[in-house]
Amino acid sequence: MPLSVVILAAGRGKRMNSDLPKVLQPLAGEPLLRHVVRTARELGADRILVVYGHGGEQVPEAFAESGDLEWVLQAEQLGTGHAVMQAMSRIPDDHTVLVLYGDVPLTRAETLRQLVGAARSGGLALLTVALEDAAGYGRILRDSQGGVRGIVEHADASAEQLLIREANTGLMAAPAARLRAWLRAVKADNAQREYYLTDVVSSAAHDGSPLTAVPVPAAIEVLGVNDKMQLAEVETGLRRLRAGELMRAGATLADPARIDVRGQVTVEPDVFIDVGAVLIGRVHLGARVKVGPYCVIRDARIGADTEINANCVIEETEVAGNCRIGPFARLRPGTVLGHDAHIGNFVEVKNSRIGDGSKANHLSYVGDATVGAGVNVGAGTITCNYDGANKWPTVIADGAFIGSGSMLVAPVRIGAGATIGAGSTITESTADGKLTLTRARQSTVENWKRPAKLPEDEKTVAVRKALDPKST
């Protein structure tokens, strides 16, 4: 049976105290809504309809690249039932409808498959959760045989009903034709004068349709976000879930509570990740990779047996196997490291290819360069790639040795096996296998004496004369 997913994303989120619509608030570096959309896609939904309202076009504009989403405007905020009504006109009767919330981002696809499966029997399926403190949640009402007969919202519940611990999560699934009929019967006769989606439960029970309560395995899956404190709570929960995924895949985490996964991270066996690591976007860590403390890795592939020492930043980079990086190294977008390459402390590499076995171990900048195999880049070397208007390339051929403190002024080529003497400024390409250096001749000044400290008045006079020779 085809599946339509309706995501309710029209809430204003007053308690956020933010100009940003609630569903665009960031969770692990992405809008809350994006997490829900991703799950809907994982279910293989035939249609995904997002009901938006507060924030106007901000919400669809944030997803302009998502051509598979259908946007439904809820011009008036008249409740969750009213929001679903706006979408139903676009859904065929033979579909199963799954209702999700744009501010409930952690529900697993496995849980939702169970919910959809229960609804395909022809009735209404509700996702419920057992809570010690159910304040703010609608309560599940059952009959004397234990069957679900309805839901009462917290604001409308009696003192006795508020003692019920089984709570409604708001997530539900039903056949489209039946849901449409049940929604027509919903009335705004409640304290908030809104059309509650939960009232379809009473409608379904009234016409004898099957009602199934599907308990969620863990309450964390249905945590909603209404303020910044709840957003932080959900962030903590997501961090814990993703840390668990990495450990099940074979990674060892020094402290699962101190890692941030803000994207799609895959690991091979025996990866080790130290505290404070932040992994963003698409990151792949090969077997036995070691990530030191407080590293940031974004959109990168790291080859097997590579060691990344503390406090490195690696972005849009491809690293081959058995490399050594850092500490305090920065690999910027467009960097490719070959096997056994070493990038050391306080070295920055940008848009460059570093060949197998090459090393830049100390205090250097390599930008817009192609570095061959077996090259040694000495401490303090800079590829001077920018002339103030254009970026120029540097080529360092296989086996070259660049002495410390050298400036390679691009465009320039350093020959294979060439040696550049320390402290040189190279402005022209150099021959293969030759020593090239540019230095002023060293000299010693005889009878020179180191300046002595002057009294303040004499120092003031000396400065004045140096700045204005005509002064007295």
Q: Indicate which residues carry an active-site annotation.
A: 362
Is the Cβ–Cβ distance between 87 and 51 less than 8 Å?
Answer: yes
CA distance 297 to 315: 6
d(CA 289, CA 333): 20
Helix, coil or strand: residue 34: helix
Note the maximum CA span of the chain: 110
Q: In what order do the strands lie in the sheet with 252-253?
A: 252-253, 272-273, 290-291, 307-308, 324-325, 342-345, 359-362, 376-377, 401-402, 419-420, 435-436
Instruction: Look at residues 229, 259, 255, 218 and name the one whose alpha carbon lies nearest to residue 242.
Output: 259
**What CA–CA distances, in Å, run from 279 to 297, 299, 316?**
5, 8, 12
Measured between alpha carbons, how far is 276 from 308 in angstroms, rounded to an integer?
A: 13
Q: Per the structure block, which two tokens stand in for 127? A: 């996702």
- Pick from 452, 16, 14: nearest CA to 234: 16
- Can you give the C-alpha Rg of the chain in angstroms? 32
Cβ atoms within 10 Å, residue 228: 13
Q: Which of 38, 44, 37, 32 is nearest to 6 (CA)?
A: 37
